Structure 1
Amino acid sequence: MSDGQTVVLRPLAEADEAQATAAEHELADDGFEFLPERGDDEAWPAFVARIRSQERGEGLPPGYVPATFRVAEVDGRIIGRVSIRHELNDHLRRFGGHIGYGVRPAWRRHGYASEMLRRALAFCAELGIEPALVTCDDANTASIGVIENCGGVLHDRGVGPDGDITRRYWVPTTIWPA
């Protein structure tokens, strides 16, 4: 990581609206949804409350599982986010995995994604998940490197719902300090 800066994973807060909305716009070009399932007309406080409820398994839409949403912060700036799914359904088992993560473009190639994934893996260990399933697009060489750098072992490749090839990795969780 650059300049010894520490990544902190923390819950989304009402004060994060401007930075999180900017991240959503930046990552939209990559096809990455920074603010999962946020409706255009959903008020920010309601969105934050919904994300927190879903972590507890409350108010989940059909087919969803409890998930922890954390923003990744460095020196007060939101640089990315992780979603940690507490269990897998059939869709997640094939395409989504336990962990999803994204880094804002200006913060890429500095080791932050690897640190975010390591911290998410440690959180999975606290939930009793061992190993964690982490997936990425076959063409996403940066994510492949991050997952393999964190100990990921390629399980297989398959065609995703979008027609792209998805790689599925099993990654140990108990080797990372919380």
Structure 2
Amino acid sequence: MVTTEALDRLTLRPLRAADEAVALAAHAELADEDFHFLLHLDGTVFADYLATLERMRLGRGLSPTQVPETFLAAFIDDDLVGRVSIRHALSEQLLRVGGHIGYAVRPQFRRRGIATAILRQSLAVAGEMGIERALVTCDDSNVGSIATIERGGGMLDRSEEVMVQHKLRYWIPTASLGAGGP
């Protein structure tokens, strides 16, 4: 069970070599849902994967369609409970679908407030990067993510183009996180 005290211990940090087994297990769990827990995983050894994440964070060697992004794992104590990717800028594609922040929670940790805690901390990181309003998108059928984003202060963008794709786009001011946050 995840308690309020446990949520207060949630930390976002880069993956480390020692996290390989649990990170790959999380990746396999979400693959069953057609979701990639580990972004840009291309079959390389884990140490090379970690180097790719650092290169992407620094914006080095990116293709014209890629933007710098920071990938952080969410831990409560020693448990890997989720992850987040924070894009430093928006490409045309990310402006439509994806946004600045993309998060995931492992199935066994869902419905416990973890996604809200991840989003809250991610918004603070995005604000530190100079992002004043973060775009967060989700499927229009993902009730849990909709609730998480709205609890985080998300304001629905009702543009027709997005609604046709069955995606919802929310803008969240990162400055709204003053003392106490959403």
Report the TM range for the smaller structure's normalisation.
over 0.9
Aligned to 1:137: 139
Unaligned runs of 5+ in 1: none
Aligned to 2:2: 2
Aligned length: 175
Q: Name the SS for the 1:59 alignment partner.
A: coil
Change (3 A) 1:61 1:158: farther
The AA in structure 2 aligned to 1:2 is V
Aligned pairs (5 A) from 1:123-162: 123-156=125-158
Which residue of 98, 101, 113 corresponds with 2:100? 98
The 4+ residue runs of structure 1 with deviation greater than 3 A are: 157-160
Mapped to 2, the partners of 1:159 and 1:16 lie a distance apart of: 40
The AA in structure 1 aligned to 2:97 is F
Unaligned runs of 5+ in 2: none
Aligned to 1:86: 88
Change (3 A) 1:86 1:76: same
- Asked if 1:23 is matched to 2:26, the reply is yes
The AA in structure 2 aligned to 1:156 is R
Aligned to 2:16: 13
Q: Deviations over 1:105-125 (max 9, x none)?
A: 000010000000000000111
- What is the TM-score normalised by the length of structure 2? 0.91
The alpha carbon displacement at 1:135 in A equals 0.3
In percent, how many aligned pairs have the same letter?
47
Larger proportion of helix: 2
Aligned pairs (5 A) from 1:101-116: 101-116=103-118
Mapped to 1, the partners of 2:120 and 2:112 lie a distance apart of: 15
Aligned to 1:175: 176
- Asked if 1:33 is matched to 2:45, the reply is no
The AA in structure 1 aligned to 2:155 is V
Q: What CA RMSD, in Å, does the superposition of the two structures yield over aligned residues? A: 1.7
Whether the aligned pair in 2 keeps the contact of 1:122 and 1:177 (CA below 8 Å) is no
